[in-house]
Amino acid sequence: MNPEKVAGPRVLLRHLRALMAGEGAPQARLDSVTTIIATNMAADVCSLYLRRAGDVLELFSTHGLKPESVHRTRLRVGEGLIGDIVAQVKTLALSDAQAHPQFAYRPETGEENFHSLLGVPLQRGGRVIGALSVQNRNKRDYTTEEAEALQTVAMVLCELVHASHMVADDEIAEIDGNATLPLRFEGLPLAEGVGQGQVFVHRAPLHVENLVSDDPDREIARLDEAVSRFLARIHDLIAESASRIGDAEREILDTYRMFAEDLGWRRRMTEAVLGGLTAEGAVRRVQEENRRRLVSSPYFRDRIADFDDLSNQLLWQLVGAGRPPPTALPENAVLIARSLGPAELLEYDHSRLRAIVLGEGSPTSHMVLIARSLNIPVVGRVAGSLARLRPGDPVVVDGWRGLVHVRPDENVYDDLVDAVEDQAKRRVGYEAMRTLLARSADGALFDLQLNVGLLHELPLLDATGAGGIGLLRTELLFLRHPSFPSTEDQEAAYRQVFDAAAGRPVVFRTFDIGGDKILPNLDRPLEHEENPAMGWRSLRVGLDRPSVLRNQLRALIAAAAGQPLTVMFPMAAEVAEFDQARRVLDIELGRQRQRGQVLPKELEVGVMIEVPSLAWQIEKVAAKADFVSVGTNDLLQYFFASDRTNPRLANRYDPLSPSFLRLLSRIREICSDAGVPVGVCGDMAAKPLEALCLAGLGFRTLSLPAPALGAVKKALRSLDCAAIEAYLQSRIIAADGSLRDEVKHFAQDHGFFH
């Protein structure tokens, strides 16, 4: 079927605005909304599902399905196509929805008559509150423009749902029972230290009521003026905070400023205004778009708080307040927030701030890095517990162990004193080992290197005593630009890395973007990717768009300029892909040579083993690559067919399983026999117990985040490699399940942990 031309989003938004401004019962207005959407999008069905208590999605309104299914049809989050849209926070476009393995038939709806489906999540304030979908009888390929129009409509619809109070906010809030009893929440330790005080709740995001406009010229002018005022405010903030923070933290704020100056961000907001939104609506639209684009990537998820902060600060400019109203902190404040950006943190008087508790948060987020410089403890990822914290509650935050104690008793204070003393001793011990070699008790020498993703992390080379950078994630540059950065921009950044390394080795991994982290100028296919982690990403993008890869390699060669250069290609699935990438590098070397430019003094070209198919070609890899690095994060998820971003599978499969350890052992043995250096740069290298197992398998080069280096180094220095090697060789053949408990007991019995 060739559907009739779909009305533009401006027409659709105009109808919705008129409906929202009118009167009538909420249910009747919702029913009118689904009818308008279906009509304007040439769809046979439009349905709205809202999230209710117990993670249940209830059909609240429909045009096209059986009316009696409204308020009767329910799905669990994660169940069916609608449940999957909410659980994964993704847009789903299917020409044959019933053939999808996630399809869940509900006979009361009559949906067996409809084949195609386009669905989007409803997000408000970073939380998914439901899903909106359209369906057609015949198979239909929905366009990217239609998906974006439905996303915009969903954002506007969220405000109608919220204003109508169709689902009470407290219906889905967790209940802690007696509000006077002590509570303890476990989260993720983000910044070390202990702080105690009283709960102070960070201000809620600014509420935006007017989202639709018929005057794009006026809204674009308002947006431009607000951005100009916002940039001026950031410059003032950097100047005001100069006395409180160091050079590394100033670089973080400079990076934040670069995000604010990003032309791609402004272009997307302008396009949203031209689509029928107000300036405020455009900011919200792009904010939600950024969240959807970044949330499924563990690394890029760290930047979400930065973009949220930018959006919230810009909204304050648009409403005329200029900046959030100053908030008087109590003398001993423990700040509670869903997320927090660097600018928002610096608006507070840090002398009164004792700790921060976040619903989200990441160890490498910009806000957390600044909090560390200000010696403010931070615990994150306690989202389900924030609603149980009340303003004024006494609270103790243990940033060492990731614990939050609400209304604590005396025993908690005694335990914390002991914990603080213990952690302080460990830090002193790690510092004392900084200049010592990572040599095991029986003489095996290890090379401990750093995983680095941001320029401000470079000083950690000296602070940790690391042997070099075993993994430099170059894709950060691609995140900071609306399109790929110029060769000159890249060269300048890479020169900073070489300068900071001061002769120590640096492994430059070519960009790992694509899938859910695609950028506008890649001219990517428009279809939605069901599984972006296994989709068009990483080296596949570089080989399909060789000019992008060539520009990056050209910048690396120019930046090296007489120094040794080490390049690593990620996500190769077969040797032929590595050969192809190597040929692109050879072309750039020849180009530089013809131009008479200084070439690298030495060149090493390696590959990451992340895909099992390449692991089974390891003999050919070892014959062609100068070195090999095992990326255990992706290798583990592909090996077990287990999405590492899915919380239900987070602890289901263990890297210390005998099958996975045997795979690692095979890779190491074949590389060593061929005389090819081989190391590990995944999360396994960052955990003492896993690092001991890697040592027992024969790995001697480990690349890990800076905060983990001290503990791993201490464990390795206590290790008898021969003993654990003999133990593992017998157990990985005989055991049926995870060796974690066995290895832990073996290590403790042999004194490998102190």
Which pLDDT value is given to residue 182? Answer: 75
- Amino acid (one-letter) located at 73: T
> What SS3 class is residue 354?
strand
Whole-model pTM: value is 0.61
Distance CA 72, CA 57 (A): 10
Q: In sequence order, which residues have a C-beta less than 8 Å from that of residue 481 and are 6 or more positions away?
A: 262, 264, 489
Of 16-30, 186-200, 252-266, 711-725, give the range with the top mean pLDDT.
711-725
To the query of whether residue 754 is one of the catalytic residues in this protein, the response is no
Which pLDDT value is given to residue 195? Answer: 87
Distance CA 646, CA 87 (A): 9
- Checking phi first, is residue 165 left (phi over 0); if not, alpha (psi -120 to 50) or beta? left
Distance CA 665, CA 670 (A): 9
Q: How far from the centroid of its chain's Cα atoms is residue 56's Cα?
A: 26
Cα four-point dihedral sign 719, 721, 723, 727: positive
Angle at which helix 279-294 crosses helix 263-274, to 10 degrees, equals: 120
Q: Is the pLDDT of residue 423 over 50?
A: yes
To the query of whether residue 681 is one of the catalytic residues in this protein, the response is yes
Going along the chain from its start, the domains and CATH numbers come out as: 9-171 (3.30.450.40), 185-203+325-428 (3.50.30.10), 216-318 (1.10.274.10), 433-519+532-749 (3.20.20.60)
Distance CA 732, CA 721 (A): 16
Q: Is the pLDDT of residue 312 over 50?
A: yes
Of the given ranges (1-10, 117-126, 493-502, 742-751), which has the lowest mean pLDDT?
1-10
Q: Is the pLDDT of residue 564 over 90?
A: yes
Q: How far from the centroid of its chain's Cα atoms is residue 46's Cα?
A: 32
Q: What is the mean pLDDT of residues 29-51?
A: 91
Which pLDDT value is given to residue 485? Answer: 75
Which pLDDT value is given to residue 503? Answer: 92
> What SS3 class is residue 259?
helix
Of 179-193, 376-390, 711-725, give the range with the top mean pLDDT.
711-725
Which pLDDT value is given to residue 13? Answer: 74
Structure confidence by residue, pLDDT tens digits, 694-705: 999 999 999 998
Confidence of residue 519 (pLDDT cuts 50, 70, 90): very low
Q: What is the mean pLDDT of residues 133-139?
A: 94
Which pLDDT value is given to residue 615? Answer: 95
Distance CA 38, CA 47 (A): 9
Asked whether the beta carbons of 346 and 324 are under 8 A apart, the reply is no
Asked whether the beta carbons of 245 and 335 are under 8 A apart, the reply is no
Distance CA 380, CA 206 (A): 22
Confidence of residue 120 (pLDDT cuts 50, 70, 90): very high
Top pLDDT among 168 and 658 is at 658
Q: What's the distance, Cα to Cα, between the start and end of the chain in Å?
A: 70
Which of the residues 366, 405, 456, 693 is marked catalytic?
366
Cα–Cα distances (Å) from 531 to 224, 229, 356, 450, in that order, read 37, 40, 35, 29
Q: Which of 734, 628, 615 is nearest to 671 (CA)?
A: 628
Distance CA 53, CA 174 (A): 9
Structure confidence by residue, pLDDT tens digits, 54-103: 778 999 999 999 999 999 999 988 899 999 999 888 889 999 999 898 89
Which pLDDT value is given to residue 175? Answer: 39
Q: Is the pLDDT of residue 714 over 80?
A: yes
Q: Is the pLDDT of residue 178 over 50?
A: no
Distance CA 256, CA 19 (A): 39
Which of the residues 158, 671, 681, 693 is marked catalytic?
681
